[in-house]
Amino acid sequence: MTDFRVVRLNSVDSTNAEAWRRAGRPAEANLVVWARQQEQGRGRHGRGWVSPPGNLYASVVRPRAGNAHPALEVFRAGICLVEAVLVVTGSAVTARLKWPNDLVVGGRKVAGILAETVPERAATVVGTGVNLISHPDATSLPATDLAREGAQRVNPARLLAAYLERLAARAAHGPNRILERWRALALPAGTPFRVRIGDAEVQGTFAGVDDEGALLLDLADGERRRIIAGDAFPEMDG
């Protein structure tokens, strides 16, 4: 795990919260907080993230330039996780990226990413949770885990090492390269989606993301809708 300082903990409230506590001022770039379990793991909008032992929970402190692309670190992390999963499973599991911050296998969520920025500390903490051997039930987006999808004995330490190796390799990649790779690893264009935006919901087909990371959704009436925030649910079999 060259170029990263990894802090390994048995249990923590949230790896993102612990990363901020340990990062200092200015924030220490490439600090990694890795926990066996989280007691108060969280996802987007403060939603709880079920975090029992056996899965991977880690947060990385990333330096943030003043004009950084808002979605860049989430997209970068997603790319690196997809590539790391391929490595550690021997290509037994192929995950796809789902806007804005998930990895899915057959439409079921196997990992999530949460990025939090504090501008005055010039850093972004990027948290990742990957279901290796277990997954929650009764979630709004059906979940799965790598073991269920056919992976054999995925070790959290090995997956973290592969992920950090990819992060180091892609650290200097700018928005154009990140967006190009994200699009290549995303669910295919034409995938049916429903997107919840506040209390409203819209249905259409996935048409990719624009250069600012917004979702592009083709509606039945021919309109292409640009969505900057929302919860997206792929409507697919398997």
The string of pLDDT tens digits covering residues 85-121 is 999 999 999 999 999 999 999 999 999 999 988 767 7
Residue 144, pLDDT > 90, answer yes
What is the rounded (10 degree) CA torsion for 164, 166, 171, 174?
A: -150
65/166 same-domain check: yes
**CATH number, residue 154:** 3.30.930.10
Same domain, 165 and 220: no
Residue 218, domain CATH: 2.30.30.100
Same domain, 165 and 204: no
- For residues 96 and 159, state if they share a domain: yes
Q: Is 125 helix (H, G, I), strand (E, B) or coil?
A: strand
Q: What is the pLDDT of residues 54-72, one digit of tens each?
A: 999 999 999 876 666 668 9
User: For the chain, what percent of residues have pLDDT higher than 70?
Assistant: 91
Task: Verify that 132 and 39 share a domain, yes or no.
Answer: yes
- Residue 127 is encoded by which pair of tokens? 């948290």
Looking at the structure, tell me whether residues 173 and 202 fall in a common domain.
no
pTM of the model: 0.92
Q: Are residues 142 and 221 in the same domain?
A: no
d(CA 27, CA 73): 16
Question: Of the given ranges (37-41, 148-152, 219-223), which has the lowest mean pLDDT?
Answer: 37-41
Q: How many domains does the chain have?
A: 2
Is residue 118 domain-shared with residue 218, that is, in the same domain?
no
In the chain, helix, strand, coil percent, each to 5? Answer: 25, 35, 40
Does the pLDDT of residue 44 top 80, yes or no?
A: no
9 forms bridges with which residues in the sheet? 35
pLDDT at 110: 97
Residues 227, 133 share a domain: no
Q: Which domain holds residue 33?
A: 5-185
Residues 76 and 91 occupy one common structural domain: yes
Strand bridging mode 102-105 / 96-98: antiparallel
Q: Which of 174, 164, 45, 158 is nearest to 112 (CA)?
A: 45
Strands (E), 28-152: 31-38, 56-63, 96-98, 102-105, 108-118, 123-130
Is there a single domain that holds both residue 21 and residue 49? Answer: yes
Please provide the distance, in angstroms rounded to a whole number, between the alpha carbons at the two ends of the chain: 35
Residue 172, burial from CB neighbour count under 10 angstroms (0-12, 13-18, 19+): exposed
Strand partners, 235: none
State whether 220 and 175 are in the same domain.
Answer: no
Percentage above 90 pLDDT, the chain: 74
Q: Mean pLDDT score of the chain, rounded to an integer?
A: 90
CA angle 54, 76, 154 (to 5 degrees): 25
Q: Does residue 39 have a pLDDT over 80? A: yes
